[in-house]
Amino acid sequence: MPNSSRVSLIVLAAGQGTRMNSDLPKVLHRVAGAPLLHHALRAGMALEPQHVVVVTGHGGEAVAASARDFDETASVVVQEPQLGTAHAVAQAAPILAEVPGDAIVLYGDTPFIREDTLQAMRDARARHAVVVLGFEARDPGRYGRLITRGEELDRIVEFKDASAAEREITLCNSGVICAEAKLLFQLVAEVGNANAAGEYYLTDIVELARKRGLSAGVVVCDEAETMGVNTRAQLAEAEAAFQSRARAEALENGVTLTAPETVFFAMDTVVGRDAIIGPNVLFGPGVTIESGAEVKGFCHLEGCHISRGAQVGPFARLRPGAELAEDVHVGNFVEIKNAILDEGVKVGHLTYLGDAEVGEQTNIGAGTVTCNYDGVMKHRTVIGKRVFIGSDTMLVAPVRVGDEAMTASGSVITENVPAGALAVARARQVNKDGFAVRLMEKLRAVKAAKKDNT
């Protein structure tokens, strides 16, 4: 019986993915804003593994960096040359061969294995030394076939090596395997390459285990979980599958989606109950929306937090570091980046707030810009509580506006504004009587002369 508190992950991510027709390693192509590799790691993390080993090959440095972006404690090993899945797993032996507990082999290009499926495999280890994840395929195609005898798994046959009768079997191999780590590496060391492809197949460990008198079993999951990504078309299918599932889960959890088919979630999007999401909203990574907030149509959100009762959009963009407190209103054509908006702030339209802090109940007029970049460095703007920023105000950072202050419309604020003060920073208006008419007559004459000369 397995020790339920001890499990390690081995994630195979060495493939080049030539059918992707890309310079980017296959497992770094994105679904829902995250690399395929991260989806696989996320599923495995639900088991709280004591060790994570990622096996890289093609584009190894980039894959290793991505793995550590997700889990900085992950170990990375290199498979070179790439001689098959058993050979890939063997690269993890120096790290895991003597580690107590189970090991589960996952694949970086198979993003949708569910957490409860992996837990079912661990539970099945109470009955079997080796557990394989299988699925009933609508079209078995070139998948490996699972050959069973009653409730026991006898062996796995790769399509290339299968007989005509074996190819009629619809119970297929996902490639995901769970076994005690020590046993796994012992079996892998015995795998040969006497097959049609001349590769060392991980699937051979089932037959090797049986020869030792050990039991092997199958956990069956829905075919959709085993979707692999090998082409651009399959990448698009994976994106569609993720979005369909994410929308259904959001609706089930009490989120209102007014046009679900037009909303696109990221892998880590969090939306609270009774939030309302309008049409054509795109979530990038790192977005949290609290219960009762509303995001109107055609918004793009990334790396931001929207609190209860806040309203955003339509046509707003929130970039990384945007923090909206309760009852904030951000209107159309507003962009916010690395800025904190306290409770009740109103930013109605046509405004950019970058590298800023805005105090509670402050009103930001249309056309306001925090001029935060001097061409080399970014600078911060701090606006106090209950401030009124007039329309078309340019706030040249670094600058501070005190509580209950005001800026006159059209001002260019380059100095701090004391609390309670009105800042006026614009040239005096001068009206020249009749000048507009005379100027237009002159310009029309010049235009007419040019036309006559042609």
- The answer to whether the CB of 56 falls within 8 A of the CB of 76 is yes
Provide the token pair at 101: 């507990």
- Of 239, 165, 200, 209, nearest to 82 by C-alpha is 200
Q: In sequence order, which residues have a C-beta less than 8 Å from that of residue 412 and are 6 or more positions away?
A: 393, 394, 396, 425, 426
Report how far residue 12's alpha carbon sits from residue 352's, in angstroms, rounded to the nearest whole number: 44
DSSP class of 226: G
Beta bridge partners of 120: none
Active-site annotation holder among 38, 87, 349, 379: 349
349 has catalytic annotation = yes
Report how far residue 322's alpha carbon sits from residue 22's, in angstroms, rounded to the nearest whole number: 34
Query: What is the number of helices (H) and of strands (E) in the chain?
Result: 10, 33
- Of 280, 277, 270, nearest to 305 by C-alpha is 270
Question: What is the number of alpha carbons within 13 Å of residue 274 lying toward its C-beta?
Answer: 6
- Of 157, 44, 153, nearest to 105 by C-alpha is 44
Provide the token pair at 134: 């299988």
Q: Which active-site residues does the annotation give?
A: 349
